[in-house]
Amino acid sequence: MLSTKMDARTLLMAGTSAACALTAPALAQEQAAASSGIADIIVTAQKRAENQQDVPIAVTAVSASTLERVGIADTSDLKNVAPSLNFSTAVGGFGLPRIRGVGSTGTGPGVENPVATYIDGVYVSSPIGALTNLNDIEQVAVLKGPQGTLFGRNATGGLIQITTKKPSDTPTANVRFGYGNYDTVTASAYVSGGLADGLSASIAAKYENRDKGFGTNVNTGNDIMTQRSFTTRGKLLWEAGDTTVQLSGDYATMEGVNPAFRPLTRNVRGLFAGGGRRDIDSDFDPALDSKQYGGSIDITHDFGGFSVKSLSAYRKMRLYVKFDPDGTTESDWVGVPGANSPPLGFAHGFQIENTQIDEQFTQELQLLSDDDGALTWVLGGFYMWSKGRFAPGRSRTAFLNQFGRYTDVTATQKLNSLAAFAQGAYHLGEATNLTAGIRYTHDKREAEGVRITYAADGTPLAVQTPPQGVIESYEDTFPKMTWRLSLDHRFSPQVMAYASYNRGFRSAAYVVGNFGLATSITNKVLKPEVVDAYEVGLKTDLFDRRLRFNVAGYYYDQKNVQVMQIQNGIQTVYNADGAEIYGVDADLILQPFAHFSITGGVNWTHARYKNFTNAQVTTPNPAGGNILTTGDASGKRLQNVPDWTLTLGASYEIGPVTITGNYYHNDGWAADPDNRVRQQAYDLVDASINWQIGGGASLSIWGKNLTNAFYFQQLGASNFADNGVQASPRTYGVTLGFDF
């Protein structure tokens, strides 16, 4: 193992040295950056506004205008412009991002993503909130690698930092109306302006209704993967001298005929699903209903020399899903030789119906020095209370051997977390900075739950199958110290290099879905996940700021990787001992001449399990479905991690017309620990033409996935079958906009 680590680190250092050699002519330049060329990008990756090129962290930042041109509508689309990010979903409503191989495949009440999502500085704990529409956006930044000090809340993989627009004193407004194929109607609006001296407000809203589905349930004849969503956000900003107060509130809802699981192999009934690959063949139509809302108050005061910031926030998220896990119908099942057939006329054989509710309160205090002097610093404290629960999680008939019976899991997991952090950057002369940070986190978790089986009439069975019917209760604390150390040096105004070592921590959690369940996966608690990350990087602005090229190499040692498996329709999460991850990613912006720009990025990640002898592996059963056993997945690829991803985009302005295109390549990923089920390589091509008509009016013609590539947004194996949920096919439409 030592030689492997040394080889990986040697490779990373060699790659960065080569990049330095390629940019040697730029290192000799001492002139100041020209006023023309690529504009500076300001990010808050270290809790203060800084030029992205001065921050010793790998960051991909995308502006609102780029998001609109490329057609990035929600967080799941961000992978198209940030290749180090891979974004999958679970049961249609949980967002599961991964950065450089670190991420999550499982969900459940109280289980947080290792890639954290922040909206205007507020941490969103639940994967329900990680899948969100991007409306009234100022910027989205993807921070790569563990953020164990300033953003310590479970950010072992990195974070998605969403910044929305601040209210403006100057009256501004914009509206968009769109129509696309699949009878898709969209409308959005943003209005902002001053109310009184120092007081301004804004309100934003977005509505989308896809009335025709991407496929059909051949059993019911109804469309599937239709969707309706609505998002709104309001802000009130008060600025009085050195004090700023911002109130924010938002509400979002999404409902649709989803998740559209389709068996890809012969299922446990011994049947194949009918219809085409974009169809399902289920006893009933799936259903999804997601709601979330929250509010925050952000108070900042500048004392001169340092400032104080208080950020208080509350959020509640609810997701209801219902689906048929075997993916075939009662009419298909009846009469199959040897099948465990239900009584004639009995509707809905297998059924999973879950309601998960997550709520949270967070309070953060920050003290930030000004930028004068040799030392700049940030001090802070963070408190979080959260509660996640099944209300309930219901499985009907799935493993009860008698039709009509169902089992409810009613469980709650609570968290009280306290953290203190400090980070400082010391200027070792004019060109070199040493940054050191530390964070101490103390998590207290409590969980309680019970699993009860009911007869078809809703009466609890007199005799429950042990360990059902027994209330389980757990409580424990999980303290951890994390840190950051980095050194950066600016060789010239055009070139900066850095090296860093970070430790990230993902808190332990109870697997409440396992309460009262006797399975081959017997754990009730997930161990804390720790990532030690080593990184070297180079940030450059070359050729009179016509080319911006940033590259980073990284090596991660990940312990206690959290892995997901579905058994009998029940999702459970457990630990692999560890993983080794290393790779290189790069981003570029090229503006060879006026009004033409090229953007691109590439990521190569080698992510493999180390010692994983307790992996849940699946073997196809000739009679249908899969046989689940415990096997050895050591050396196998991590789930949902492509080795290569690439994005390349271009935008050209011809007078009032802007033509934009974007290409994304994913070389495929493994869906399970034994790597038997895989998503093959796929390519996406998006394009748009925008015409500024005049008088603030614009017309856009756009298309996404123009080649109609077929791939999965979710893919996996269970004892029911190998199954998947399709991603969006080719979509296109027109949008009419007005800016005032």
DSSP 246-271: EEEEEEEEEEES----EESS--TTS-
User: What is the mean pLDDT of the segment spanning 417-430?
Assistant: 94
| % of the chain surpassing 70 pLDDT | 90
- The 10s digit of each residue's pLDDT in 40-57 is 999 998 999 999 999 999
Note the pLDDT of residue 597: 94
**Across 644-663, average pLDDT:** 95
Q: Which residues pair with 538 in a beta bridge?
A: 497, 551
> Taken in order 650, 652, 656, 657, is the CA torsion positive or negative?
negative
522's enclosing H/E stretch is: none
> What per-residue confidence (pLDDT) applies to 349?
65
* Per-residue confidence (pLDDT) for residue 401, from 0 to 100: 52
73-82, 114-123, 352-361: least confident range: 73-82
User: Across the chain, how many H-helices and E-strands are there?
Assistant: 5, 43
Q: What is the pTM of this model?
A: 0.90
Average pLDDT over residues 242-263: 94
Give whole-number Cα distances, 150 to 41, 161, 380, in Å: 20, 13, 8
Which is higher by pLDDT, 14 or 655? 655
d(CA 503, CA 495): 26
574 in Cβ contact with 630 (< 8 Å): no
- pLDDT score of 13 more than 80: no
Which of 327-331, 463-467, 671-675 shows the lowest mean pLDDT across its residues?
Answer: 327-331
State residue 397's pLDDT score.
Answer: 72
pLDDT band at 501 (very low <50, low <70, confident <90, very high): very high
Q: How far apart are CA 251 and CA 229, in angstroms?
A: 11
Helix, strand and coil in the chain, % to nearest 5: 5, 60, 35
Tell me the pLDDT band of 398, cut-offs 50, 70 and 90: low
**Residue pair 374/434 in contact by the 8 Å Cβ criterion:** no
Confidence at residue 336, expressed as pLDDT on a 0 to 100 scale: 46
CB 663, CB 683: distance < 8 Å: yes
Measured between alpha carbons, how far is 45 from 145 in angstroms, rounded to an integer?
12
Query: How confident is the model at residue 568, as a pLDDT?
Result: 63
Selection from 264, 349, 393, 256 nearest residue 716 by Cα: 264
Across 104-124, average pLDDT = 90
Question: Is the bond into 467 cis (omega within 30 degrees of 0)?
Answer: yes
pLDDT per residue as tens digits for the range 532-581: 999 999 999 999 999 999 999 999 999 988 887 776 666 677 888 999 99
What are the two backbone dihedrals, phi and then psi, of residue 78, each rounded to the nearest 5 degrees?
-65, -25
pLDDT at 108: 85
Give the model's pLDDT for residue 457.
84
Say what percent of the chain tops pLDDT 90: 64
Q: Is the C-alpha dihedral spanning 121, 41, 483, 305 positive or negative?
A: negative
DSSP 545-599: TTEEEEEEEEEEEEEEEEEEEEETTEEEEEEEEEEEEEEEEEEEEEEEETTEEEE
For position 340, what pLDDT does the model report?
A: 46
Q: pLDDT tier at 37 (50, 70, 90 boundaries)?
A: confident
CB 280 within 8 A of CB 271: no
| pLDDT average, residue stretch 131-145 | 90
Summary mean pLDDT of the chain: 88
pLDDT of residue 532: 96
Residue 372 pLDDT more than 70? Answer: yes
- Cα 676 from Cα 592, distance rounded (Å): 45
Residue 173: pLDDT above 90?
Answer: yes
Asked whether the beta carbons of 686 and 641 are under 8 A apart, the reply is: no
Q: Dig out the tokens for 201 from the structure.
A: 């407000």
Give 292-345 pLDDT, tens digit per residue.
Answer: 999 999 999 999 999 999 999 999 999 999 998 888 886 555 444 444 444 433
Burial pattern 375-413, b for ≥16 Cβ within 10 A else e, equals ebbbbbebebebbbbbbbbbbbbbebeebbbbbbbbbbb
Higher pLDDT, 371 or 610: 610
347: left (phi over 0), alpha (psi -120 to 50) or beta: beta
What local confidence, expressed as pLDDT, does residue 693 receive? 94
DSSP string for residues in 652-714: EEETTEEEEEEEEEE--EESSTT--SEEPPEEEEEEEEEEEEETTEEEEEEEESTT----EEE
**pLDDT of amino acid 150:** 92
The pLDDT of residue 722 is above 60: yes
DSSP state of 635: T
DSSP output for 481-505? EEEEEEEEEEEETTEEEEEEEEEEE
pLDDT value at residue 23: 37
Distance CA 450, CA 439 (A): 36
Q: Higher pLDDT residue, 405 or 5?
A: 405
